[in-house]
Amino acid sequence: MNEGSGYEHSIRFITSNYDELFRITDGSTILVTFPDRQFVEKCSYIDDYHTKIGNSVYHICQYAEILEQNDARCEPEPETLLDKAAWQIGDRDFLLIEKRKDSFRYELVTKEFLSRSQGQLDRKDLTVNQAREHILDYYGIGRRSRVPVSFDFVKTRMQEVLKASDVTNIEWQNSRYFPGMRTVEHNLACEIRRVPLQLRYEVSQHDDGEGFTIHSNGEDIWDHMPEPELRKLEELLHEAVEYGHWIDYLDQAQTVEAVREVRYSLYETEELTREQIQALHKAIDDKEALLSKAGRADVNKMSVLKELETKKSRTGTDKTQFTPKVRQHKNELGSGGRD
């Protein structure tokens, strides 16, 4: 970004003997090379003898002496000719830029190789370096150093890093409370990148707040997942535990009235997602319908039994009344024969 920037002043770079090496326009960048490292810094004009390089202000002769004492050199930053380029910005971020026909796609990535922000710059008139400076200024990080790195290296690391979204099919199994430790331990089943695993999610109460840990069998997830992703995963596990407790509550309801009580309680909770609430309402509907059907079947069965008992009772009464008639009839026949 050393031509056509529109800045009015030029910045001189000299030797310690005041021999001029080159000039750049105000706001342009230089490539600084030390024996063990190389980086890019943005420069701002202060006056003819002072310039701001990165976050520090130097006299132009002072800066020349620093370079010479450390066997280092600087030069105007060469223009990036690649369509895909990446830089480490300070020690906290990476910037990836991909040049397209009429625009630039970019992505800011954290030091944990997690995507921080993505966007598109519709400026086909800019070079890759100019697009980079525009993006850095937009995010307020234009004073940090820029170290060229491999675009593919950053992308590969981003794919390798374990994310909360890699943990799927989370199901609560059981919970235990340890009063002496003020800790609740939850055990859950899940899949991490399609591999079945067990998770132990512990929530501890402290005088100054609440803390959590998440561990897994095999390679411990606590050691392999970046902290920002662990916090996202903790939210998912909390939701899974709450949902599991509600399912357990519903399973214990053995009457229609008890199931309806679960429904009434569900209206008051704020711990579940919309999808979980919908799933619970469906489960409640299904169980209420099942218990209602079972209740009707029991009523019908009782009605049938009662009817049978009634018939049996009536049949028994008829026999008692009919027997004497038969005997009487037989007696009459018998008497007639003897006569």
Per-residue pLDDT, 306: 59
Tens of pLDDT, residue by residue over 273-323, are 999 999 999 999 999 999 888 766 654 555 545 565 665 565 554 444 433
Rounded CA-CA distance 131/79 in Å is: 11
- Sorting pLDDT into bands at 50, 70 and 90, what band is 154? very high
Nearest one of 47, 42, 40 to 8, comparing CA atoms:
47
CATH assignment of 84-160, given 3.40.1350, 3.40.50, 2.20.140, 1.10.3470? Answer: 2.20.140
Among 185, 215, 212, CA closest to 199: 215
Strands (E), 179-321: 183-192, 195-206, 209-216
pLDDT of residue 269: 86
Give the model's pLDDT for residue 271. Answer: 84
What's the pLDDT tens digit per position in 87-122?
A: 999 998 999 999 999 999 999 999 999 999 999 999
Q: List the single range of 28-37, 57-66, 104-113, 201-210 with lowest mean pLDDT.
A: 201-210
DSSP of 203-241, one letter per residue?
Answer: EEEETTEEEEEEEESSS-HHHHS-HHHHHHHHHHHHHHH
Residue 15: half-sphere exposure toward Cβ, Cα within 13 Å: 4
- Is residue 2 classed as helix, strand or coil in its secondary structure? coil
- Whether the per-residue pLDDT at 82 is higher than 70: the answer is yes
77 touches 40 (CB < 8 A): yes
CA pair distance 187, 215, nearest whole angstrom: 10
Better-scored residue on pLDDT, 131 or 323: 131
Closest by CA to 204, choosing from 228, 222, 178, is 178
Length of the chain: 339
Query: Between 227-252 and 274-338, two packed helices, what is the crossing angle to 10 degrees?
Result: 20
Structure tokens at 165: 């979204």
The type of residue at 271 is: E
Closest CA to 107 of 76, 141, 135: 135
Does residue 81 carry a pLDDT above 70? yes
| pLDDT for residue 112 | 92
Which tokens go with 36? Answer: 């063990």
Identify the three-state secondary structure at position 89: strand
The pLDDT of residue 184 is 96
Q: Which runs of consecutive H residues, i.e. helices, occur in the chain?
A: 60-69, 128-138, 151-160, 221-224, 227-252, 256-266, 274-338
Q: How confident is the model at residue 294, as a pLDDT? A: 77
Contacts of 279 (CB under 8 A, 6+ apart): 243
106: enclosing H helix or E strand: strand 104-110
Contact 96, 67 (CB under 8 A): no
Mean pLDDT (the chain, rounded): 87
Going by DSSP bridges, is the β-strand pair 183-192/115-121 parallel, antiparallel, or unpaired?
A: unpaired
Q: What percent of the chain has pLDDT over 70?
A: 84
> Is 70 exceeded by the pLDDT of residue 175?
yes
Question: How would residue 39 be classed by pLDDT, with cut points 50, 70 and 90?
Answer: very high
C-alpha–C-alpha distance, residues 45 and 52, integer Å: 7
Which pLDDT score, from 0 to 100, does residue 163 have?
A: 95
pTM: 0.68
pLDDT band at 209 (very low <50, low <70, confident <90, very high): confident
